[in-house]
Structure 1
Amino acid sequence: MTMTHGATRSGQTSEKRGMNLTLRIWRQKDPSVKGKMVTYKVTDISPDMSFLEMLDVLNEQLITNGEDPVAFDHDCREGICGMCGVMINGQAHGPQQTTTCQLHMRSFRNGDTIDIEPWRAAAFPVIKDLAVDRRAFDRIIQAGGYITAPTGTAPEAHSTPVPKKDSDAAFDAATCIGCGACVAACPNASSMLFTAAKVTHLGLLPQGQPERNDRVVNMVAQQDAEGFGGCTNIGECSAACPKGISMETISRLNHDLLGALRAGVRPKS
C-alpha cells in the first residue's frame, strides 16, 4: 500500500497544526487613563513559540491593521535580565516556574482563552499596557545593595576563605534577576524576597561585612518607603520565583535586621 507524503496509516496528516487562541489583554494608554481588558484572536501559533514570540505575532497583526501594538517589557529573552514579566491567567510568569520569555506555548492548549495583565502592585505603576515601572527595585539597591571596596590590584582569589555552605547560599541568593514576580504573586505585594536576596548574598561574604548592619536597615527602610506590602510568610513569592530563591533568605534578612536594630543602627535620613 502506498501513502502520500505527510500522511499516516489512519489518513491523518503528520504535520503539526498551529494553535488558535483567544487573548484577553490589559490595554492602558498611559498612567492617567483607566485601562480595560481587550479581546484578540491569534491563529496558527506554533507550540514551540515562546510566549513573547506569540505576542510578537499579535503585534505584527495589530500593526498591519493600523492598530496600536501591545506594549510589554522584554530584553534578553533568555531568562537572564528579568525584564519580561506579566500575569498570565492570574499567575506570575504563567503556569511554569520560569520567566515569561522562557514559557512556551506548548504549556497551553488549542482553543484556550488566556488572560494577560501587568504586575499588580502600587509600587509598580503601569506605564502602558503590560509595561510597569519597576524603578522602586533600583532605589532599594541604591539604598545599600552594594559593597564599598578599595580600588587597585585585586586580591588573590583564595586569600579569603569562604565556607562552601556560605558561598553556595550566597550564590543561590545572587541568582535573583529582579523580575518582580515575587511582588506580583504576593497577596500583600511584598518585595521581601527580592530585598532579602540582595541583602543575603552580600551578607554571607567577607566583603559584605563592614556595611552589613547599615545595608539591611537602609534597604528595608527604602522598601517600606516605596509602598510595598508587609511579608506574612505566605510563600507565593518563592513559588513564583523563576530562580527558585528560598524563603530562607527572608529569615536571614530578619535575623540581620534584628541584630542591626539591637546594635542601635538606624536608617540614614
Structure 2
Amino acid sequence: MTATQEHPTFASGTAGDDPAMAKHGMTLTLRVWRQKGPQHKGKMVTYQVEDISPDMSFLEMLDVLNEKLILAGDDPVVFDHDCREGICGSCGLMINGIAHGPEQTTTCQLHMRKFKDGDTIDIEPWRATAFPVIKDLSVNRQALDRIIQAGGYISAPTGTAPEAHSILVSKKDSDAAFDAATCIGCGACVAACPNASSMLFTSAKVTHLNLLPQGQPERDDRVVNMIAQQDREGFGGCTNIGECSAACPKGISMETISRLNHDLLGALRAGARPKS
C-alpha cells in the first residue's frame, strides 16, 4: 500500500455552531482511496472527522467529510449512491476489507453505531478487473448490465394481464424464483470473491427466469449466452468459496449457483451454443 497523505480534522457541525457546545458523537480516522481517474495511480489519503452521530448512515458520514472538503477548497470524495434505501444497489464500498462493511446490508443502510469512537476505517472501491475505477470510490459496473442484456427477453404475450391462476407455479419454484429476484446488482459478490467471480449475480438472474413458465422458451439460450458474456467481461471463475453469499445484502444462497450449473449442463447437452 502506498504512503498515506494527512488532511485536517473535520467536524459535522456548521461553521456557526457555538464553540462552547459540548461535543457529542465519535471521532474517526478515515483512510480513503483517492484516484483522479482510470489512468491515474491512486493512494490512500487520511482524514479525521469529528462529532459523528451513531445514528448516521455510512454515506451520511461521507457527506459530512465531503461538505468539509468542499468548504476547505478540496475535491470531494466521489462515491456511488442513489436511493439510499437499500433498494437500487448503486452504493458499494469495501469497508475495512469487507464488502459493504461489518453488517450484511447495503452500504447506505450501514450505520455508524457499528463503529467505535477512535476507530480507523479503511474505505476502498470494489476491486475487480471487470469493475474499472472511474474516480475515487466510484467504479464502472456496466459489465453486470451486459450480462443481463446477453440473456435477451422472455416470450410473453402482450395485452391485458392474464388471470392470476391461469399459469400454475409450484410454491417451491415461486419461492426460489422470488429469492433469486431480490438481487439488486450491487456487485458485492464480485468484490468479496477472491476470484472476482460474478457467478452469484449471474445465477440469480438466470434462476429467477428459468424457474418460471414464462422463462422456458429461451431457457437454454439464456444460460449459455449469459455465462459466455460473463467470461468475456473478465470475471474470475467460481470455486465455491462462499464469500459471495456471505457478503450479499439480500442473502442470496449459493444454491442458485448450483441451479445455474445444472441448467448450463442441460443446455449444452441439448446443443445450445452462445452467440458469437
TM-score bracket, shorter-length normalisation: over 0.9
Q: Is the 8 A contact 2:93 2:123 kept in 1?
A: yes
> For 1:216, which of 202, 223, 238 is the aligned residue?
223
> Structure 2 length normalisation: TM-score?
0.91
Separation in structure 2 between the aligned mates of residue 99 and residue 66 of structure 1, nearest angstrom? 30
> For 1:50, which of 38, 51, 57 is the aligned residue?
57
Counterparts of residues 88-237 of structure 1 (less than 5 Å): 88-144=95-151, 146-237=153-244
Separation in structure 1 between the aligned mates of residue 147 and residue 155 of structure 2, nearest angstrom? 16
Separation in structure 2 between the aligned mates of residue 146 and residue 20 of structure 1, nearest angstrom? 51
How far 1:147 sits from its partner (Å)? 1.4
- The number of aligned residues is 255
Q: Is the 8 A contact 1:146 1:202 kept in 2?
A: no
Secondary structure of the residue that 1:77 maps to in structure 2? coil
Counterparts in 2 of 1:207 and 1:240: CA distance versus 1, 3 Å: same
Letter paired with 1:188: N
Letter paired with 1:83: S
Secondary structure of the residue that 1:17 maps to in structure 2? coil
CA offset digits 1:43-97 (Å, max 9, x no partner): 0000000000000000000000000000000000000000000000000000000
Separation in structure 1 between the aligned mates of residue 37 and residue 106 of structure 2, nearest angstrom? 25
Partner of 1:32: 39
Letter paired with 1:95: P
CA offset digits 1:216-235 (Å, max 9, x no partner): 00000000000000000000
How far 1:42 sits from its partner (Å)? 0.3
Partner of 1:265: 272
> For 1:62, which of 69, 90, 103 is the aligned residue?
69
Separation in structure 1 between the aligned mates of residue 153 and residue 36 of structure 2, nearest angstrom? 36
Secondary structure of the residue that 1:177 maps to in structure 2? coil
How far 1:149 sits from its partner (Å)? 1.9
Q: Is the 8 A contact 1:145 1:199 kept in 2?
A: no
Percentage identity across paired residues of the two chains? 86
Q: Please, what is the CA RMSD of the aligned residues?
A: 1.0
Letter paired with 1:195: T
How far 1:20 sits from its partner (Å)? 0.1
Secondary structure of the residue that 1:115 maps to in structure 2? strand
Partner of 1:11: none
Q: Is the 8 A contact 2:31 2:120 kept in 1?
A: yes
Q: Is the 8 A contact 2:94 2:123 kept in 1?
A: yes
Give ranges in structure 2 of 5+ residues lacking alignment: 1-21
Secondary structure of the residue that 2:41 maps to in structure 1? coil
Letter paired with 1:266: R
Q: Is the 8 A contact 2:23 2:51 kept in 1?
A: no
> For 1:242, which of 249, 253, 271 is the aligned residue?
249
> Structure 1 length normalisation: TM-score?
0.93
Q: Stretches of 4+ moved more than 3 A in 1?
A: none
How far 1:16 sits from its partner (Å)? 8.7
Partner of 1:256: 263
Partner of 2:5: none
Separation in structure 1 between the aligned mates of residue 241 and residue 152 of structure 2, nearest angstrom? 25
How far 1:155 sits from its partner (Å)? 1.2
Separation in structure 1 between the aligned mates of residue 111 and residue 73 of structure 2, nearest angstrom? 28
